[in-house]
Amino acid sequence: VGFQRDSVRNQIEHVEALWGSFITRYPDDPEAALLDLRRQLLLTQRRWRAQVWQPLMNDVDEEEDDDPLLEVCLYWLIWGELGNLRFCPELACFLCAAARAHCRSAD
């Protein structure tokens, strides 16, 4: 997709640290920790997608079918590339939804 190599390395460390933090809340269930991380991290994006993206693109949200780690990583990779545009949350939501749709179509 064209992410900068150093940004990818930074975001890998970031996701590992976040997931590790959530695992302390779910010591016996890393999958539940990842699902909770995704839920908290992507709440605004999911609301935006439900209100804007899905009606516009006639897209049905199939959250259960999506890989939570993929969604968390996509979010942070895009966030890492946004620079000053991070302060435009609608753009971040759009880019995450578009990247998610691209990943789903590639499967």
Q: Residue 17: its pLDDT value, please?
A: 97
Q: What is the DSSP string of 33-54?
A: HHHHHHHHHTHHHHHHIIIIIH
Question: Which of 17 and 88 is assigned the larger pLDDT?
Answer: 17
Distance of alpha carbon 79 from alpha carbon 38, whole angstroms? 15
| Model confidence at 3: pLDDT above 90 | no
Contact 94, 24 (CB under 8 A): no
Confidence at 30, pLDDT banded by 50, 70, 90: very high
Whole-model pTM: value is 0.81
Q: Residue 64: its pLDDT value, please?
A: 58
